[in-house]
């Protein structure tokens, strides 16, 4: 576990070093957080840009050669990427929720207290679904080979987040009336399916330099 946490820490250090990317997309997400129908889109922007930037940076730098010299195995590297992605999602969603709440003191609030919590939950749910698809694709195929999938996924999630926020809210309200386990189990099943499929492929992957 210490090895995984060290890898996650190194990912955050790399992200902080990429100041322009962090500032640009971090601010974009925070701006979207105060717009009543754009919260989910802001989450997707931040997750897409920040997580994918770190993965792309590592693959362009052939960092797997460096990892081979460390006392870590591929499963730990894969798990660290997941932990980094999902922890960043939680941090980003929390920061966006805080900014949305703080902005209510200076402008007419975009959300009620209950509406804000629902939007945060929708944003996290969309981020979890997005990461469960994006992470295995990029870790197994590489960011260059997966770039078309990345574009399609990003556009699809962004458009839904921007243009169908009311629809997502209705879905969330409907799901809130169902038994919790009935909603949670299919989500966990999908998440673990892609996780274990990606882990199996990643452990057998032959690393090559990306052009």
Burial of 44 (0-12, 13-18, 19+ CB in 10 A): buried
User: What one-character DSSP code corresponds to residue 106?
Assistant: T
Residues 29-62: tens digit of each pLDDT = 777 776 655 777 788 888 888 888 888 888 877 7
> Which two tokens mark 46?
């931040």
> Which two tokens mark 166?
């009311």
CA distance linking residue 64 with residue 11, whole number of Å: 13
Burial of 57 (0-12, 13-18, 19+ CB in 10 A): middle
Residues 121-179: tens digit of each pLDDT = 777 878 888 888 888 988 888 888 888 888 888 787 767 655 555 665 666 566 656 55
The domain ranges of the chain are 2-204
């Amino acid at each position: 576990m210490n090895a995984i946490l060290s890898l996650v820490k190194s990912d955050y250090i790399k992200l902080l070093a990429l100041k322009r990317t962090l500032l640009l997309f971090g601010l974009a997400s925070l701006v979207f957080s105060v717009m009543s129908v754009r919260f989910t889109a802001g989450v997707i922007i931040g997750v897409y840009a920040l997580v994918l930037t770190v993965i792309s940076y590592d693959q362009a730098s052939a960092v797997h050669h460096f990892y081979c010299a460390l006392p870590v195995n591929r499963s730990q590297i894969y798990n660290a990427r997941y932990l980094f992605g999902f922890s960043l999602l939680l941090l980003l969603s929390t920061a966006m929720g805080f900014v949305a709440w703080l902005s209510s003191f200076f402008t007419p609030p975009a959300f009620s207290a209950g509406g804000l919590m629902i939007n945060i939950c929708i944003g996290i749910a969309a981020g979890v679904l997005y990461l469960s698809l994006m992470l295995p694709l990029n870790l197994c195929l590489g960011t260059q080979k997966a770039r078309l999938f990345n574009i399609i996924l990003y556009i699809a999630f962004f458009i839904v987040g921007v243009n169908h926020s009311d629809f997502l809210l209705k879905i969330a309200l409907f799901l809130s009336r169902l038994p919790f386990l009935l909603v949670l189990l299919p989500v966990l099943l999908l998440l673990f399916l892609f996780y274990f499929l990606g882990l199996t492929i990643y452990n057998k992957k032959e690393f090559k330099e990306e052009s």
